[in-house]
Structure 1
């Protein structure tokens, strides 16, 4: 069981955290991603699938980042990434206490600080951590230089984003992620916390122009099997549907992250 809030900073060694994320043309989101994870992570592994924008230039400016070029093959882009997610983190065995396997637009958050919470979980024997998922939303794309969790604080609970992708690479033998990492069937020494305290903040609805443009970009990556299996079907919806969903999310959203909370 994690320590009480007041105990989390007392005598806990800072955990070694490795972040593993895929990237394709993420120049708009990468500055926010790095601002969020660089203070937490010892190393950040980025698996870049042929970015043609400024993504590589941005990544090369961060000394903690290791860029691994990949070429996803086959008739399913989603299944190619599934295979990568299930294997990439294994390089962190013996070198990290925790790994986070995520996308660039996925920011994990804990109100007292993620590093403190991971240290407490490690001390109490937890080896894998689930999350509450939230689809975050803002009327406009946030300005440069901000911390997203303190700028875009409203969202809606999303069962689709309740992902279990933070774990000990030495304790977990296999993740067995389903497509999109929406389902995890871990093998190994699996010890969950008694309660779920971490939030996954998914930042896709950052103003309608960004949502529209990024959706079109991701739709262009879908391959024949993706279409046949319905993977990424949300990228093919019409603009009217997208507008309605965006407005609905703005109307039903609530404050998820308190002002001045941890990251």
Structure 2
């Protein structure tokens, strides 16, 4: 990692830092960074992994007006767990009480009030975020259609710790203590067909650079072998609702609810979540 990391500061009770690793996310990174600032983040720590689409330059401009720390990750290989763990420990050193590890395509919401207020009042040490996948309408950004059945996996946020170690995907962390899962997250993985194609290509290239076998991450392996016709078919299912057996790991499993997340300050009480059973 290259760049100026925060100096050591005593823990600021009730604060949280959001930390992320990004590459070529210029279409959504400003939305997610501003979202976490609006939710009360003390700092947003971003490591850019060699973006070529202007993401790094945009982040540097945003850092002039927002509490963002931008550094560069020049290691091509995936190693996400190790890199995110490094960022989480940097947040601890900077005085964070809580750490929220996120991807650029994620918007996290508390059940009421801001994320900062919810974390500050929580008795837990780890909170798992329930994931709801969102899809663009007619291939355009926001509003979105959201799957009312939550994703199989969750992602975690946690009280900062000097030796916190995150797993790949930010699904688990080695911090001990009480665990809960009242936070929800909108996940917007696919925003355009070109963005999907780029994500498939760069994601698998990063995994291959580790020397890992295809089994390293199942849906990335599936995506790496996809032909252009498969990308066309999956995008048609997302943008137009065309039925397909193809998946890439984010296929809707329930009914779709139209939402406008830019109007949300917290997860709405009337969101029509369905049972996974």
TM-score range, shorter chain: 0.7 to 0.9
**Offset at 1:198?**
1.6
- State whether structure 2 residue 261 is matched by structure 1 residue 261: no
**Aligned-partner Cα distance in 2 for 1:53–1:258:** 26
Aligned residue for 1:169? 160
Gaps of 5+ in 2: 1-11, 242-251, 267-277
SS at match of 1:211: helix
What is the Cα deviation at residue 218 of structure 1? 2.9
Contact kept? 2:134, 2:146, Cα under 8 Å: yes
After superposition, residues 1-263 of structure 1 pair within 5 angstroms as 15-39=14-38, 40-63=40-63, 64-72=67-75, 77-78=77-78, 80-93=79-92, 95-115=95-115, 118-138=116-136, 139-142=138-141, 151-155=143-147, 157-164=149-156, 166-170=157-161, 173-175=163-165, 177-182=166-171, 184-188=172-176, 190-193=177-180, 196-223=181-208, 225-231=211-217, 232-236=220-224, 237-249=226-238, 251=241, 252=252, 253-255=255-257, 260-263=263-266
1:9: which partner in 2? none
1:115-137 CA distance string (max 9 Å, x none): 3xx43443342221111112211
Matched pairs, number? 231
Partners of 2:155 and 2:169 within 8 A in 1: no
Distance 1:249 1:140 in 2: 8
**Would you say the 8 A contact 2:15–2:97 is kept in 1?**
yes
- When residues 124 and 206 of structure 1 are mapped into structure 2, their CA distance, relative to the original with a 3 A threshold, is closer
Distance 1:208 1:52 in 2: 18
Segment drifting more, 14-23 vs 129-138: 14-23
- Listed one character per residue, the Cα deviations across residues 11-30 of structure 1 (whole Å, up to 9, x for unaligned) are xx994221110021222221
Shift of the alpha carbon at 1:152? Answer: 2.2
TM-score norm. by structure 2 comes to: 0.71
Instruction: Specify the alignment match of 1:6 in structure 2.
Output: none
Partner Cα separation in structure 1 for residue 259 and residue 184 of structure 2: 9
What's the TM-score once normalised by structure 1's chain length? 0.74
Could you tell me how far 1:54 is from its partner in structure 2? Answer: 1.1
Tell me by how many angstroms 1:45 deviates. Answer: 0.9
Unmatched tracts of structure 1, length 5 or more = 1-12, 143-147
SS at match of 1:159: coil
Distance in 2 (CA, whole Å) between partners of 1:159 and 1:16 is 28
Partners of 1:71 and 1:38 in 2: CA distance: 26
Deviation at 1:247, TM superposition (A): 4.2
